[in-house]
Amino acid sequence: MAYSISRRALLRATTASAALAGLAKLAPLHAAPRAAPEAAPLTQNRAPLAPQPFQPLPTGAIKPAGWLRRQLEIQARGMGGRLDETWPDVGANSGWLGGTGESWERGPYFLDGLLPLAWQLDDPALKAKAQRFVEWTLASQRPDGMFGPASNDDWWPRMVMLKALTQYHELTGDPRVLRLMTAYFAHQLKALPARPLKDWGKFRWQDQVVSVIWLYNRTGDASLLELAALLKRQGYNWQGLFADYPYRTKTSKQAIGLDKPDVPGEVPEGLKDPALSVHGVNNAQALKVSPVWSVVSGDAADRAAIQRQLGALDRYHGLPIGIYSADEHLAGRSPSQGVELCAIVEAMYSLEQSLAITGDAGLADRIERLAYNALPATFTDDMWAHQYDQQPNQVQCVHGPGPWTTNGPEANMFGLEPHFGCCTANFHQGWPKLTTHLWMASADGGLAATLYAPCTVQTRVSDVPVILQQETDYPFRHAVTIAVKPERPVTFPIRLRIPGWSEQTTIRVNGRALVDQPHQGFVRIEREWRTGDRIELAFASRPRAAVTSEGWTSFEDGALVFALPIDETWTKVRQRGLTADWEIRPASRWAFAVKPDTAIERIERPVGPVPFSRRSPPVVLTAEAVPIAEWPLVDGAASPPPAAAKRSGSGRKIVLLPYGAPKLRITAFPSRVL
């Protein structure tokens, strides 16, 4: 597999001065900030970057509707919009606002989600909060190009801030962003040889390459391709790691040196390669590494390598919720192992980027599995408290020992910053970036429905303003209606993703059924679209049992995973400003076995004000379960489901809720009863 950028690109690569020349040419176009919906989306990468089937629409072009809007409003009313009022790390004394407080990743993390949230909800107060961070950051740049808090020169937090600034530019067209990025990248190209990437930045280099590609597409400055190649050379070789994957079992502290005390003056054990390469969040960010690099290398093998990576993580560490276990490090396949909230939102973002580059509809199925199950599961209904680690089989959330590889006693409690505050700062990007990626521009000048949720798209096709209104209660229902509203009739292709689980899909345009077969998971409809045109999609899903190689059974229907809710007793441990820390203890039996061939019934109910709440689940399944005698707690968690369990009572009907709703639950059941 080739890692080098093309010869042509290298020959074209010049110094940073050409960068500023390229920028000067571009600047008049961006002189006045303008709203994103007026901007035509980028449909193709600038040569010599490889073409890709889809490009994300500019942040802000897609607004949430229906239940998704309610979910974003919950986030805005909870910690998502008010964290700065109660958590000093992103408050007025943040280093990213010029203060003397936290000056590393937390300010940029917060902004990375706050910006799209504020504009998607068109909320002036949230926009003002976000703008303060942007203004300080843009004004912080030094003559040598470095920016950000002077007290911390780590490359890593700047990678996060670049993600935020590119969104800000898409939202406003503010030309200062291009100037800052151009000067910073020129600085980095000069400085990296003597001050190379280390620890987090070394393992997350691909996130900066995303921003480098973003700027190259806008300025054409060839030195950016040189910088991309340098980041690759200094960064960790993820693709090499997965070529012959060594980490096949639950990580032990001994295996990564964490059983030894750190030696003063040396790199801490947790920041050395063995620990960082099995780190859950690093792996989530690295899901994008091969597709992103394929844009620079042009190598199809790079583009395809994400499948090997996902395959290895599924096989050795896969959980039934679309991600691997990692608490904090890769933790094997037991459904009682945890996965960190940062890993959920970073995996979603990685897969959103990878979906655009590969056009692989299977990645979209996985994004929905994460977004519609793992993401809501790890928050309280009001999004004022979250967990660090969630477990598919989560029978209590209390302070104490856990089955974790390396995490501490607060790891699965709900609160302000249980275990460690990274997730408190980083979770904000989850729902807003899902919204950003519901539709994408296609390379042939059309639009693609890549993920399904209610939304309104406002964009341009062939220079004609186009609005798409997507009405649906997906994933709680399996029908989607899209109203197409171009300002005047215009011909372009619309692609519709067919989820891998849909047993039969019906597509109607203005009432007439289409017979087109999907190609690579998408059906393409090219025609002259006029206002009043309607596309109706109906997917067919039957509730189904999924059985793992270990004999554990879990239940799914469409994009949703279902779980047995355990009655919950909540205890406030301490008040934390506007929020609190909580323990949850079980108040009902959870030791059941369910046979994979159980009769399953699906019952639909109205979608409530809180979409993922056990108080008003929009859909439930029923199944026949058998109470079992022995399913012990080990380290405060349910042990892995027993291979064969002894019956301890008569069978009964149980009701399963969408996984994201209950906070105590069983998701993977033993299936053999003696």
DSSP 59-118: TTSEEE-HHHHHHHHHHHHTHHHHGGGT-GGGSTT-GGGTSSS--SSHHHHHHHHHHHHH
Instruction: Choose, by CB under 5 A, the member of 97, 118, 348, 423 that binds Zn ion.
Output: 423
Instruction: Tell me the residue nearest to Zn ion as measured from the CB.
Output: 342
Torsion of Cα atoms, 397 then 398 then 404 then 409, to 10°? 140
Q: Checking DSSP bridges between strand 447-449 and strand 479-486, what pairing results, if any?
A: unpaired
Q: By 3-state DSSP, what share of the chain in percent is helix, strand and coil, each rounded to 5?
A: 35, 20, 40
Site string for Zn ion, 308-347 (x = CB under 5 A): --------------------------------x-x-----
Residue 435 phi/psi, 5-degree rounding, is: -60, -45
Kindly state the greatest CA–CA separation across the chain: 78
Q: Tell me whether residue 429 or residue 598 sits nearer to Zn ion (CB atom).
A: 429
CB of 451 to Zn ion, least distance (A): 23
Q: Tell me whether residue 184 or residue 200 sits nearer to Zn ion (CB atom).
A: 200
CA distance 99 to 660: 38
Q: Tell me whether residue 422 or residue 438 sits nearer to Zn ion (CB atom).
A: 422
Q: Tell me whether residue 379 or residue 492 sits nearer to Zn ion (CB atom).
A: 379
Q: Tell me whether residue 376 or residue 499 sits nearer to Zn ion (CB atom).
A: 376
DSSP class of residue 373?
Answer: I
Contact between 439 and 356 (Cβ < 8 Å): no
Q: Tell me whether residue 186 or residue 423 sits nearer to Zn ion (CB atom).
A: 423
Q: Tell me whether residue 327 or residue 583 sits nearer to Zn ion (CB atom).
A: 327
Q: Tell me whether residue 232 or residue 386 sits nearer to Zn ion (CB atom).
A: 386
Site string for Zn ion, 342-371 (x = CB under 5 A): x-----------------------------
Tokens representing 431? 């729902």
Q: Tell me whether residue 22 or residue 415 sits nearer to Zn ion (CB atom).
A: 415
CA 138-141-142 angle, 5° bins: 160
Tokens representing 131? 């703008």
The number of C-alpha atoms within 13 Å of 99 and in the hemisphere containing its C-beta is 15
CA distance 111 to 138: 13
Contact between 434 and 479 (Cβ < 8 Å): no
Asked if 451 interacts with Zn ion (CB under 5 A), we say no
Instruction: Choose, by CB under 5 A, the member of 422, 466, 523, 664 that binds Zn ion.
Output: 422
Q: Tell me whether residue 180 or residue 422 sits nearer to Zn ion (CB atom).
A: 422
604-633 residues in contact with Zn ion (CB under 5 A) are none
Q: Tell me whether residue 168 or residue 203 sits nearer to Zn ion (CB atom).
A: 203
3-class secondary-structure state, position 647? strand
Q: Tell me whether residue 226 or residue 340 sits nearer to Zn ion (CB atom).
A: 340
Q: Tell me whether residue 68 or residue 344 sits nearer to Zn ion (CB atom).
A: 344
Q: Tell me whether residue 104 or residue 590 sits nearer to Zn ion (CB atom).
A: 104
CB of 88 to Zn ion, least distance (A): 18
Contact between 506 and 544 (Cβ < 8 Å): no
| Region of 110-118, 133-141, 418-426, 472-480 interacting with Zn ion (CB under 5 A) | 418-426
CB of 604 to Zn ion, least distance (A): 35
3-class secondary-structure state, position 289? helix
CB of 426 to Zn ion, least distance (A): 6
Contact between 173 and 217 (Cβ < 8 Å): no
β-partners of residue 555 are 545, 562
Q: Tell me whether residue 380 or residue 472 sits nearer to Zn ion (CB atom).
A: 380
H or E segment and range at residue 564? strand 560-565
CB of 561 to Zn ion, least distance (A): 22
Q: Tell me whether residue 375 or residue 422 sits nearer to Zn ion (CB atom).
A: 422
CB of 7 to Zn ion, least distance (A): 41
Site string for Zn ion, 373-412 (x = CB under 5 A): ----------------------------------------
CB of 418 to Zn ion, least distance (A): 10
| Region of 25-33, 74-82, 421-429, 434-442 interacting with Zn ion (CB under 5 A) | 421-429
Length, in residues, of the chain: 674
CA distance 336 to 332: 10
CB of 421 to Zn ion, least distance (A): 8
- How many residues bind Zn ion (CB under 5 A)? The answer is 4
Which residues lie closer than 8 Å to 625 by C-beta, 6 or more apart? 564, 592, 593, 594, 598, 651, 652, 653, 654, 669
CB of 388 to Zn ion, least distance (A): 6
Number of neighbours of residue 469 by Cβ within 10 angstroms: 16
DSSP 139-207: HT--TTS--S-TT---HHHHHHHHHHHHHHHHHH--THHHHHHHHHHHHHHHHTTTS---HHHHHSHHH
| Region of 191-199, 261-269, 422-430, 439-447 interacting with Zn ion (CB under 5 A) | 422-430
Contact between 51 and 356 (Cβ < 8 Å): no
The end-to-end CA distance of the chain, in Å, is 51
CB of 402 to Zn ion, least distance (A): 16
Contact between 75 and 428 (Cβ < 8 Å): yes
CA distance 370 to 388: 16
CB of 209 to Zn ion, least distance (A): 22
Tokens representing 465? 């303003």
Residue type, 508: R
Per-residue CA distances from 514 to 361, 483, 536 (Å): 20, 16, 10
CB of 312 to Zn ion, least distance (A): 23
Q: Tell me whether residue 284 or residue 422 sits nearer to Zn ion (CB atom).
A: 422
CB of 222 to Zn ion, least distance (A): 37
CB of 332 to Zn ion, least distance (A): 20
CB of 422 to Zn ion, least distance (A): 3
Tokens representing 377? 């599961």
CB of 95 to Zn ion, least distance (A): 19
CB of 425 to Zn ion, least distance (A): 8
The CA radius of gyration of the chain, in Å to the nearest whole number, is 24
Residue numbers at the binding site for Zn ion (CB under 5 A): 340, 342, 422-423
